[in-house]
Amino acid sequence: MPQNEQPFTKKGGHKRGKDGEKRDRILSAAISVFAQKGFYATRVSEIAKAAGVADGTIYLYFENKEDVLISIFRDRIGKLVEVLKREVKKADSVEDGVRRIVDLQLGLLEGERDLAEVITVNLRQSSSLLKQYAVPLFREYLDVIAGVIARGQESGAFRQDLNPKIVARALWGGLDGIALTWALTDADPSKLRRAAQQYATLFLEGVVTRP
């Protein structure tokens, strides 16, 4: 995750490297603290402490506390969307694509649980300013999902009487609902994986028994 793939740019440009490193440390710390305590309950000094910098230093890299949160969305969700796109491309079929989406999103809870929590939890605490930034990013994420659905509809694999956007939201929401209850009751990872499998089946085939 860090950037050890730029072995000489250290002082070449305008104070990169060290800069980006500290900025990143602040963001990572913020993700961790926001996840634990929520945006409002988090003190700027707590982020600073977790990042190992002085309080004032945060203001060298971010406008203010809210900007830290927004930056998390901007920096990290962008990457998530990339991963999602890549993963979806690897799929053999649209059904496989859906299963990959499910696995990826719920798998995120294990790999980067804090980030997942920040995205899930803090998306809803947002002031209007935050909405302004978070919603477009969120929409892009949903659009990737909706794209898979639409492709399935075109190929005839998926039923065509459903709006792909609604289906995408439902898919995301269902995953989020499972994740939320899982997070609130801190169950073990194996249960989450099992839930993921069942959810994919449910989503694909429905709850009604096939004739």
Partner DNA sequence: CATGAATGAGCATTCATTCAT
Partner DNA sequence: TATGAATGAATGCTCATTCAT
Residue (of 106, 104, 120) closest to 39 by Cα position: 120
Amino acid occupying residue 177: G
Between CA 134 and CA 77 the distance in angstroms is 9
Sign of CA dihedral 108, 109, 110, 114: positive
Helix 94-111 and helix 164-184, axial crossing angle in degrees, nearest 10: 30
- Show contacts with DNA in window 20-59 (CB under 7 A): 22, 42-45, 53-57, 59
- Show contacts with DNA in window 115-144 (CB under 7 A): none
**Which partner in a copy of itself, DNA, none is near 129 (CB below 5 to 8 A by kind)?**
none
Interaction site with a copy of itself (CB under 8 A):
38, 40-41, 95, 98, 120-121, 124-127, 131, 135, 142, 149, 152, 156-159, 161-163, 166-167, 169-178, 180-181, 184-185, 194-195, 198-199, 201-210
Cβ distance to DNA smaller for residue 64 or 93:
64
Between CA 13 and CA 15 the distance in angstroms is 6
- Find the shortest distance in angstroms from Cβ 64 to DNA: 3
- Find the shortest distance in angstroms from Cβ 4 to DNA: 18
| DSSP 8-state assignment for residue 210 | P
Residues 6+ apart with CB under 8 A from 11: 17
**Which partner in a copy of itself, DNA, none is near 136 (CB below 5 to 8 A by kind)?**
none
Q: With beta carbons less than 8 A apart as the criterion, state whether 84 and 171 touch.
A: no
Q: Is 2 in the site for DNA (CB under 7 A)?
A: no
Which residues contact DNA by CB under 7 A? 13-19, 22, 42-45, 53-57, 59-60, 64-66
